[in-house]
């Protein structure tokens, strides 16, 4: 099969629960790839705040020309396009753009089967943890969110830390632990806000509350410091949401910098590199817990070799945001995710008059 066409459109999707004053919405780019037999595959990529216009421009002006007329095999296409685009950078904007094409090609590759079955479904369900982008919440708002997670039956939850005053982080973590009880797993995410000294102090202060892992405690590309931190604390370290290439994941794992890896299927460039990262992690005995985007990452988790957990940020999945038409590709009940009955990736994006091929959010 050969690729005969590609269409991309973008929209800005308001978040019902903003991720902060600077992140009131996410940007979604939908990609349709057509083959010479008439079939069309639907994929996507995503940015939470910045970069959507640059991604769209790369797809329109560089990727389309290199894609159309070539083969439709996802791995072959991914390697060819990544080499073609490397002058613009090996990761970041380039891999986020590649994800749009790669997921569309995987949608086609699956045919009438669902993604987890094509990959080799290993389990019928996977554990989901409740997550919140909640550093800007008041303490009472955070407690109310934790109560919603308990009512929804999540066996694990994650909250943001990294406030200027460590005692405030301690107070908030203690309050959430009190709400969720001793048996629910509790993770914290610093979003790269600490340096090595502050991370050691903060983890020591928060460890008594039974942390399952600490996520992104340091700048993501400071691998030596990550390795030093992991060796000096007793709480597992989770990394990967801000890592873009297989080589960067290799370096993290080889350095012994983390206990958990968290690739984001859009940021790493799609399903093709995601699967390569998962296999790499398996050789180090490190589990993969996908970052965000449960509508697709949940399907991948059902096929991962080591038991994963899937993240669901409150009211932020594509289904919850109203950009997918039912039936949805995954369903989540009582803290468990299952795949729906669909073909391919099951991404049936809702039409909108605001779709515009050049400007996120429409004209």
Structural domains for the chain: 3-110 (3.30.390.10), 117-339 (3.20.20.120)
Q: Are strands 336-339 and 330-333 parallel, antiparallel or unpaired?
A: antiparallel
Classify the C-alpha dihedral 273-321-13-147 as positive or negative: negative
**What was the pLDDT predicted at 352?**
74
**188, β-bridge pairs:** 159, 214
At a CB cut-off of 8 Å and minimum separation 6, what does 318 contact?
Answer: 28, 293, 295, 324, 347, 349
Q: Does 160 participate in catalysis according to the annotation?
A: yes
CB 15 within 8 A of CB 26: yes
Cα torsion at 190, 191, 196, 201 (round to 10°)?
Answer: -10
Q: How far apart are CA 186 and CA 63, in angstroms?
A: 41
- Total residue count of the chain as it appears in this document: 363
Q: How far apart are CA 213 and CA 193, in angstroms?
A: 16
SS3 category, 213: strand
**96, β-bridge pairs:** none
**128 membership: H or E segment, kind and range:** strand 126-131
Q: Are strands 260-261 and 237-239 parallel, antiparallel or unpaired?
A: parallel
CB 362 within 8 A of CB 355: yes
Q: How far apart are CA 44 and CA 48, in angstroms?
A: 13
Q: How many CB atoms lie within 10 A of CB 87?
A: 9
Q: Which residue ranges in the chain fall short of pLDDT 50?
A: 355-363
Q: Does 84 participate in catalysis according to the annotation?
A: no
Q: How far apart are CA 138 and CA 172, in angstroms?
A: 9
By CB atoms closer than 10 A (0-12, 13-18, 19+), residue 57 is middle
**What was the pLDDT predicted at 353?**
58
SS3 category, 310: strand
Could you identify the residue written with the tokens 């020309």? Answer: 65
Burial 113-122, CB ≥16 within 10 A → b, else e: ebbbeebeee
**33, β-bridge pairs:** 6, 41
Q: One of 27, 160, 289, 342 is an active-site residue; which one?
A: 160
Q: One of 27, 158, 289, 291 is an active-site residue; which one?
A: 291
DSSP character at residue 361: T
């Amino acid at each position: 099969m050969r690729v005969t066409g590609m269409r991309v459109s973008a929209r800005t999707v308001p978040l019902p629960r903003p991720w902060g004053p600077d992140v009131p919405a996410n940007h979604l780019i939908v990609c349709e790839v057509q083959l010479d037999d008439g079939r069309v595959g639907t994929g996507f990529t995503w940015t939470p705040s910045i970069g959507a216009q640059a991604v769209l421009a790369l797809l329109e002006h560089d990727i389309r020309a290199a894609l159309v007329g070539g083969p439709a095999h996802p791995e072959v296409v991914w390697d060819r396009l990544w080499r073609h685009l490397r002058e613009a950078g090996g990761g970041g904007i380039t891999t986020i753009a590649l994800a749009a094409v790669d997921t569309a090609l995987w949608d086609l590759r699956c045919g009438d089967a669902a993604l987890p079955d094509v990959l080799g479904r290993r389990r019928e369900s996977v554990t989901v943890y409740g997550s919140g982008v909640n550093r800007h919440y008041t303490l009472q708002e955070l407690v109310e969110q934790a109560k919603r997670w308990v009512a929804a039956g999540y066996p694990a939850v994650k909250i943001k830390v990294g406030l200027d005053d460590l005692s405030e982080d301690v107070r908030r973590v203690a309050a959430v632990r009190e709400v969720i009880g001793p048996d629910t797993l509790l993770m914290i995410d610093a979003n790269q806000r600490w340096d090595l000294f502050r991370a050691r102090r903060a983890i020591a202060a928060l460890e008594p509350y039974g942390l399952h892992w600490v996520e992104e405690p340091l700048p993501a590309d400071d691998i030596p410091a990550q390795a030093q931190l992991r060796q000096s604390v007793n709480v597992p370290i989770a990394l990967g949401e801000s890592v873009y290439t297989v080589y960067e994941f290799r370096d993290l794992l080889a350095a012994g910098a983390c206990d958990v890896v968290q690739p984001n299927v859009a940021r790493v460039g799609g399903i093709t590199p995601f699967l390569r990262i998962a296999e790499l992690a398996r050789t180090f005995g490190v589990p993969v817990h996908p970052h965000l985007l449960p509508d697709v990452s949940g399907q991948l988790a059902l096929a991962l070799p080591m038991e994963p957990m899937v993240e669901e940020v409150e009211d932020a999945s594509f289904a919850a945001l109203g950009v997918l038409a039912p039936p949805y590709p995954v369903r989540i009940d009582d803290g468990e995710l299952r795949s729906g009955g669909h073909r391919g990736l099951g991404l049936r994006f809702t039409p909108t008059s605001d779709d515009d091929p050049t400007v996120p959010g429409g004209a």
